[in-house]
Amino acid sequence: MIAEMSDLEVLALTAAGDQGAFSDLVKRYQDKVFGMAYRYARDRQDAEELAQEIFLKVWQHARTFKGRSAFATWLYRLAVNTCLNYRQKKKIVPEPLPLLGDFAAETNSAGSEIIAQERQNLLDKAMDTLPARQKMALILANFEGKSYEEIAGLMEVSISAVETLLFRARQNLAAMLRPLKKKGEL
């Protein structure tokens, strides 16, 4: 039964053209792949398209898997590269952060949910302004829980490059969000 097989065994069946095996791989990893794509694109439709593109690449390139890493690592590498190419394909221009006075403080309890959503929107917009590789490193570290070593492998960079990407990403976010925090808007 396919459900009891290892990822590598299921991938071997997929490489041989077994659509049932491929379907099982998709079921095993669709939540993780979609979650990463959504955190990167922050648009459900775009994340679904990214996830489909990632799994299409798995189907097309299953025979090229050499087994030098775990299947999950190979899949994440495909996902990282697909997400990094996302901005170039879509020609995304990040929305500018709103002026500091755009969000008047709401003091009633009914407005607290709106304020929380606006704060999240500000953070999301700030994340969108980061360079693609900084954003990806931050997503992998903070949302995917990957170690620096894992991130280095997935992004095909050195550990020191990962440290630099994360440092710069956090520094850039802090610089963008500091004025909003001082005003109490974040």
pLDDT band for position 2 (cuts 50, 70, 90): confident
What integer is the mean pLDDT of 56-64?
A: 94
What integer is the mean pLDDT of 36-40?
A: 90
| 35: number of Cβ within 10 Å | 15
Q: Which of 31, 28, 37, 38 is nearest to 71 (CA)?
A: 28
Does the pLDDT value for residue 175 go beyond 80?
yes
What integer is the mean pLDDT of 116-124?
A: 77
Model confidence over 91-108: pLDDT tens digits? 555 555 454 444 444 444
What integer is the mean pLDDT of 146-172?
A: 93
What pLDDT is recorded for position 31?
A: 95
What integer is the mean pLDDT of 58-70?
A: 91
Alpha carbon 142 to its chain centroid, in Å, reads: 10
Does the pLDDT value for residue 180 go beyond 50?
yes
What integer is the mean pLDDT of 58-78?
A: 91
Q: Are residues 40 and 144 in contact, defined by beta-carbon separation less than 8 angstroms? A: no
Look over the chain and give the mean of its residue pLDDT values, rounded to a whole number: 84
pLDDT band for position 111 (cuts 50, 70, 90): low
Does the pLDDT value for residue 89 go beyond 80?
no
| Least confident span in 48-52, 144-148, 178-182 | 178-182
HEC string of the chain equals CHHHCCHHHHHHHHHCCCHHHHHHHHHHHHHHHHHHHHHHHCCHHHHHHHHHHHHHHHHHHHHHCCCCCCHHHHHHHHHHHHHHHHHHHHCCCCCCCCCHHHCCCCCCHHHHHHHHHHHHHHHHHHHHHCCHHHHHHHHHHHHCCCCHHHHHHHHCCCHHHHHHHHHHHHHHHHHHHHHHHHCCCC
pLDDT band for position 67 (cuts 50, 70, 90): confident
What pLDDT is recorded for position 141?
A: 92
Q: Which of 101, 103, 128, 132 is nearest to 115 (CA)?
A: 103
Q: Which of 114, 139, 112 is nearest to 124 (CA)?
A: 139
pLDDT band for position 82 (cuts 50, 70, 90): very high
pTM, 2 dp: 0.67
